[in-house]
Amino acid sequence: MVQAPQRTAFSGPALIRLLARLTDVEVPESSQSLSDRLSQWLGWTDAIALSSALNNAPPAVAAGARAFGLAEENECDRVRASLAKAIVGDSVFAAARRGGPVAQARPHDASAEAPVDYAMFRQRYLAMQQAMETGVGSLRGRLRAMLAAKTPAMARLAVVDAVMERALSERERSLLAAVPGLLAGHFERLREAEQQALAGAEASADAATAAPAAPIRPGAWLDAFRKDMQSVLLAELDVRLQPVEGLLAALRTS
């Protein structure tokens, strides 16, 4: 099995740790506090809007909003499960089945003669990101509306969340859009490592004195890459759901 390069251990979300392990980019862990980093991402208009949300009188409690209960909890679980299922069940990220008509029908299988193009994986990753952004954004908006109908303090929190979403969404989109590009290097390294291993095994087989080597299954690198990309997408889903988890926690205590 081709192994990814070992990187410096990072703290933080699983997404950051995975990317640090799978990529060859040496990025020192930031010494800045979270508040300092956020201040660099907020423009002056965002800062004014956030200050107003925190310091002005809390907004009036919205009327007629649906109450939060078990049905809403279940809906949150359904959205999470649906997005995770779309990632896990996507044929592009599924490991190839060896032998049989299913494997023969897969045009992107590494066992085929044609080389595998990373562009297909990039496009699918971006499509999954769009689905996550849409699904999580809609859920976040619904939870925020429920929070605004609770108490003035909770209504203030809903306004703060809306301001932060507007202020950080473009930055978040830009940073996450770079992930497929980072994984392209991992794709090429795995492919090249297997090609070198196969060439070495072939040379050893031709040598009369060579000891028998463990067989290398052609295409194993691509199954490893699919699994890695799938893991990164699931870790990204967890990051995107963090604001939703915060809103849920507030709703449960109100």
Domains of the chain, residue spans: 63-200+214-253
pLDDT, greater one: 207 or 174? 174
Question: Can you tell me the mean pLDDT for 169-180?
Answer: 93
- Statement: residue 227 has pLDDT above 60: yes
- Statement: residue 103 has pLDDT above 80: no
Window from 39-43, 59-63, 92-96 with minimum mean pLDDT: 59-63
Question: Can you tell me the mean pLDDT for 115-140?
Answer: 94
pLDDT of residue 104: 42
pLDDT tens digit sequence for 186-223: 999 999 988 888 777 766 665 655 555 566 677 889 99
185 contact partners, CB below 8 Å, separation of at least 6: 23, 24
pLDDT tens digit sequence for 13-36: 899 889 988 987 666 666 777 778
Mean pLDDT score of the chain: 82
DSSP per-residue codes, 15-82: HHHHHHHHS----PPP-S-HHHHHHHH--HHHHHHHHHHHHSPPPPPPSSPPPPSHHHHHHHHHHHHH
Kindly indicate the confidence band of residue 165, based on its pLDDT and cuts at 50, 70 and 90. very high
Residue written as tokens 């609770």?
Answer: 150
pLDDT of residue 106: 46
Calculate what percentage of the chain has a pLDDT beyond 70: 78
Question: Can you tell me the mean pLDDT for 81-103?
Answer: 77
pLDDT, greater one: 195 or 11? 195
pLDDT tens digit sequence for 112-121: 445 789 999 9
